[in-house]
Structure formats: C-alpha cells, structure tokens
Structure 1
Amino acid sequence: MSVRLPLVPRWLRVSAVITVAAVILYYSVVPAPGSGSFRTGPLGLVPFSDWLHLLAYAGLAVTLAYAFHDSLRPDWQVLLAVFLLTVGYGVSIELLQAGLPDRTFAIADMIVNAVGAVIAVGMWRGLTRYVRFYQARAVSDLEVPVQ
C-alpha cells in the first residue's frame, strides 16, 4: 500500500507559508481576548502558552517543508534550512515583542519554538519515507490517496 499526496503549485505552497507566518505575527503582537485565562495546556503538565508556541512553530516548519519539498537540494539541506528559517522567525518575533508594552521577551519561548520546529522536521522526515508526492496543477489532477 502506498500513500500518494498532492504537491500543489509552488505559489500556493508559498502562500500557505506566508499565511501561517502572518497569523503567528498577528497573534504575537496583538493580545488575544481572554489571554491568560488558561494556565496549563492538555494534561496540565505544560503552560498553555508553550503549547501554542510549540504548535504554531511546528505548523510553520511543516508548511515550509511542504513548500520546498520538490527542491533539488538534498533532504538534509532542505530540512536544515526549514529548521533555521523557523527558529530565525521565532527569534525575530521575540525581539519584536521586547519593544511592545503588552508583550514580553522570553528566551524560553524561543526554545519552545525551536522544539516545535525540531519535532515538525523530524515528523516530516518520517512522513516522506512513506508518502509519495505527485504534482497537482488542477483539481482534476487530485487522486485517491491510498491505492
């Protein structure tokens, strides 16, 4: 059994990266209503804000990995670039927050962002061993994922 997933046109993949990055920027700059009302995330083990950081930067890393999946570079170079871009974006956001009155600069948040990126890159590497991507330029190109 092989799983085949579509690789949509690059402009659409890059648009997804820009959208994810913009959402992260927005919620990093504008305090959300009710922020601070949740103290812990699932299972009560980790602060809720850390879960949000982890998921946001894992999502950014996955969209970046998908966007550059068809690169001519070796996988390790692409995944290293994905990791570095994701962590660099997280550091930039933290530096931006340092100058905002309602936000705080935290090295711990940068570490959680990096952990999210590492998890996503590792999962992407595992996924690509079992999934084959095919070019899908139009809706008619979409196939049944499992054959």
Structure 2
Amino acid sequence: MQSIRHSLREWPGRTVPAIVYAGIVFAASVVNPPSGGQPAVGPLGLVGADKWVHAIAYAVLTVLLAYALWATTFRLLVVVAVVASVYGLGIELVQSALPFRTFDRLDAAANTLGVLVAGLVLWVVSWCLDESSGRWVARESR
C-alpha cells in the first residue's frame, strides 16, 4: 500500500501544480471582488454562477491534489477530499475576517460538492484502471 509520504518523496514535482493552483485560488478568494463581474444565474438556472465557479475550482484542486499524491486508492482519495474541503472552509473563514468579503455557507457547500464529484470520478477511474499497466480493465474478469 502506498503512503502519502512515499508519494511525495517519489514524485516531488507532482506537488507543484497543486501548490501553485491552491495559491491562485487563495489569491482570487481574498482580493476585493469586481462589482458585476459574473452573471447572476449559472447554467441550468439552478444556482448562481459563482457557485458553479466554486464547484469547478475545487474539483480542479481535488484532481491536482490526487495527482500530487498519485491517489489511486480509496483511502488516499478520502484524504485528498478532506484536505481540499478543509482548504475551502479555511478560505471561507479567512474571508469572514476581510472587510470586503463574507463567510458564505453556500460557497463552502459548493466547494465541497465540487470536491465530492471530482473524488467520485477519480475513484471510478482508478477502480477501472489496472494499476500496473494503466489500461482499462473489465472488473468482472479479475
């Protein structure tokens, strides 16, 4: 079984995209937002466009963290999901201390939803890949 420490030691360059992207997300989250920058309603008209942006941003972060840790086991994917969700909640808490930002439970929920959707997709993909060859396999033939 692979460990997080082994993954980070074996492929340290894999962490760079995740760290850079996490920094970009943080920077975008703490600057004064432009007024009228996003449409009020997102695709399908169900929720605001900003919630879609949150979900997509944290789905991307989840994929990059999974890549950094080469997370192919359910256990490591859970670790990745927890880290990404806690990061999103932490940013919301930082925003609560800023005069031009607020803590928004719906933003935190959108972050977590993006993390969970990406984690589920990654888990299904990792379940369908042969670990040694990286090829798709029929699970019932194993």
Query: TM class, shorter-chain normalised?
Result: 0.7 to 0.9
Equivalences for residues 92-111 of structure 1 within 5 A: 92-111=90-109
TM-score, reference length from structure 2: 0.77
Give 1:91 shift.
0.8
Aligned residue among 111, 116, 127 for 1:129: 127
Give 1:77 shift.
1.5
Q: Which has the higher contact order (CA 8 A, sep 6+)?
A: 1
Give 1:41 shift.
1.4
TM-score, reference length from structure 1: 0.75
Equivalences for residues 59-98 of structure 1 within 5 A: 59-69=60-70, 75-98=73-96
Give 1:70 shift.
5.9
Unaligned stretches of 5+ in structure 2? Answer: 1-9, 137-142
**Which stretch shows the higher mean deviation, 27-36 or 101-110?**
27-36
CA, structure 1 residues 124+37, in 2 after alignment: closer, same or farther (shift >3 Å)?
Answer: closer
Higher-strand-fraction structure: 1
Other-structure match for 2:115: 117
Other-structure match for 1:50: 51
Unaligned stretches of 5+ in structure 1? Answer: 1-8, 135-144
Compute the RMSD of aligned alpha carbons.
Answer: 2.3
Higher-helix-fraction structure: 2
| Distance in structure 1 (CA, Å) of the matches to 2:46 and 2:126 | 31
Sequence identity percentage: 34
